[in-house]
Chain A
Amino acid sequence: MLKKSLLFWLILSPLVVVILFPFGVMFVTAFRPREELFTYPPTWTFSEFRWANFAEMWVKTNFGRALLNSLYVSVLSTVLAMILSIPAAYALSRYRFPGKRAYRTFLLMTQMMSPIVLVLGLFRMMVTLGLVNTLNSLVLTYAAFNMAFTIWMLQSYFSTIPRDLEEAAWIDGAGHLTSLLRVFLPLAVPAMAVTAIFGFINSWNEFVLALTMIRSSDGFTLPVQIYSQVAGRYQIEWHHVMAATMLATLPVAIVFSWLQRFLIRGMALGAVK
């Protein structure tokens, strides 16, 4: 058993290296004193944990502002997408209506399109709406882009919740809304949590739309802000860039590890049979 798993890890190890290498570089660079950035030959060690890198970076790159912008956009777009997706997914999984198949195909097809194809059209739309250079333009577009995915994902989970449970609630005297709130949605919590995580991460990492819609640096989200520290600069402060990158990936990692307990909780077990 142990031998077998050792063997598997050995086979997987090149992949692990490829995945972990950028993180290693990020970590080492973020904590290095500036003088040690370009030592040759490159090493993995450094003389001290330079926490000051983070403090300097925070001020110099206006990190706090970008963090707030990212949080605002990611949270609101996720909430908006969920509020609209839950009823849509419920309808798709429970009701029969004309055009249902076409609608599902449409949802899937939108997933195959890259946002960059639509970016010009979206920009012109935001101009018309007067939303260019506001964070709300990102909230709307992210929510819209996420919804195709969230509806699809929720719908397939909702369909696994036995219809009998709602029917039992109706017979027990619950109205549609009560059965939804007290029987159906509590069972869908794991799926909603997972879906929300994906939506949040998508919004958090999104770059192209943010770069297009936001013109002034006050409104930059984290990816754009970090990019602006690299692109078109005469001198790039790599230790600041890497410190910023590390801080930008941390919240996602925390949210993910906190919510992943919902992933494994098979609540619907024992419902029927």
Chain B
Amino acid sequence: MASVTISNVGKSFGTMSVLHNINIDIENHEFVVLVGPSGCGKSTLLRMIAGLETVSSGEVRIGERVVNNLPARERDIAMVFQNYALYPHMTSYENMSFSLRLRKRPQAEIDQKVRDAASTLNLLPFLDRSPRQLSGGQRQRVAMGRALVRDAQVFLYDEPLSNLDAKLRVVMRTEIKALHQRLKTTSIYVTHDQIEAMTMADRIVVMNGGRIEQIGSPLDLYDRPANLFVAGFLGSPSMNFLKGQMRRSDRQAFVETEGGMWLPVSPDAAAREGQPVICGIRPEHIAISGDGGVPATVEVVEPTGPNIEVFISLAGQSASAVISERRTFRPGEEIALHWLPEHASVFDPETGQRL
């Protein structure tokens, strides 16, 4: 197992530059998730670490070795592909043992390792089947098994769960995480699904437009997003953004909306009096009561089971709140909203940065 260091890495295809100056230090044993919308460059970055794409500038290091010019087969990494990429003309056993056979390991060792991996992944009954005789979830496990038998320095995952149905995805998510807790192999995981990122990662790297927006632990990113993009990308339903101007009185801070509503925000926000800002508040941080808070109107109510999601109109801007108590709301009902000022972030509408 090894650390992975990515310093000042850039990638361009011809004149088009898709990754700009990427810096990530991934520690030994760490599980890092690269997350972002499609086209943000996360898969390209993973493929550069794997050796499937060339590095245009900067340096990729696995352990102490600079691997920029090392072919994939010499990097000692294992990778799980989005579409599994199982060899269709080989059985599960042959698929999993392929790398060991290439390295001419003794048959007894190959057998031992494949059976160990297969029993970990509950694949023992399927070792003689070819990929087309397996279900999606089983194929996914064989792809994992192929990585597992390797004892590789680093595991790379390229959206491994995106072809599974919703239920199986949740199961496999937990299994991959449990597996990592046991094996502690340094892992880099690419996904566009923010829930996967939040649930699995030790650290999340949020990417957008070929740049890193923020790196941090899941809850850090969730609670203190560095900018509007991260704030909006993580969390479902996503954060409410309300436009207004900064107002301060005593030790308190507010954002005054166009309709003259005063929204309490954290007094630590580094914004001048009167500066145009965006107030960001997560739906689950909003509490609803009959009176005494910020007035709003109920528009649509969506019960999800554990929670009720209430879509509201607040001073002409739309927002949503998620509450867990059982209450009935009528569309058009006047309600009052409360939240703790420290839960409301303030962003600069020009730069998108947190203030």
Contact of B84 among A167, A174, A272 (CB under 8 A): A272
In the complex, whether B79 has a CB less than 8 A from a CB of chain A is yes
- Shortest CB distance A180–B (Å): 13
Contact A173/B102 with A165-B85, A187-B88, A271-B86 known, Cβ cut-off 8 Å: yes
Whether the pair B73, A267 counts as a contact (CB closer than 8 A) is no
- Shortest CB distance A267–B (Å): 6
Kindly supply a per-residue 1/0 record for chain B positions 141-155, scoring 1 wherever the CB is within 8 Å of any chain A CB and 0 otherwise. Answer: 000001000100000
Q: What's the Cα separation between A168 and B78 when bound, in Å?
A: 9
Q: What's the Cα separation between A270 and B139 when bound, in Å?
A: 9
Contact A164/B131 with A170-B71, A172-B102, A186-B89 known, Cβ cut-off 8 Å: no
- Shortest CB distance A210–B (Å): 39
Whether the pair A170, B99 counts as a contact (CB closer than 8 A) is no
Contact A273/B136 with A164-B83, A172-B102 known, Cβ cut-off 8 Å: yes
Whether the pair A168, B79 counts as a contact (CB closer than 8 A) is yes
In the complex, whether B132 has a CB less than 8 A from a CB of chain A is yes
Whether the pair B52, A173 counts as a contact (CB closer than 8 A) is no
Contact of A174 among B73, B88, B134, B136 (CB under 8 A): B73
Contact of A270 among B75, B103, B132 (CB under 8 A): B132
Kindly supply a per-residue 1/0 record for chain B positions 84-109, scoring 1 wherever the CB is within 8 Å of any chain A CB and 0 otherwise. Answer: 11111100000000110011000000
User: Number of contact residues on A: which range applies?
Assistant: 20 to 34
For residues 148 through 191 of chain A, which have their beta carbon under 8 Å from a beta carbon of chain B?
162, 164-165, 167-175, 178, 183, 186-187
- Shortest CB distance B86–A (Å): 6
Report A-chain residues with C-beta under 8 Å of the C-beta of B146: 168, 172
In the complex, whether B133 has a CB less than 8 A from a CB of chain A is yes
User: Which positions in A face B, CB cutoff 8 Å?
Assistant: 162, 164-165, 167-175, 178, 183, 186-187, 267-273
Q: A164-B81, A174-B102 are in contact. List 17 more A-B contacts (CB 8 A).
A: A162-B83, A164-B85, A167-B81, A170-B73, A171-B72, A171-B78, A172-B98, A172-B99, A172-B102, A173-B103, A174-B73, A178-B102, A183-B87, A267-B89, A269-B88, A270-B86, A270-B132
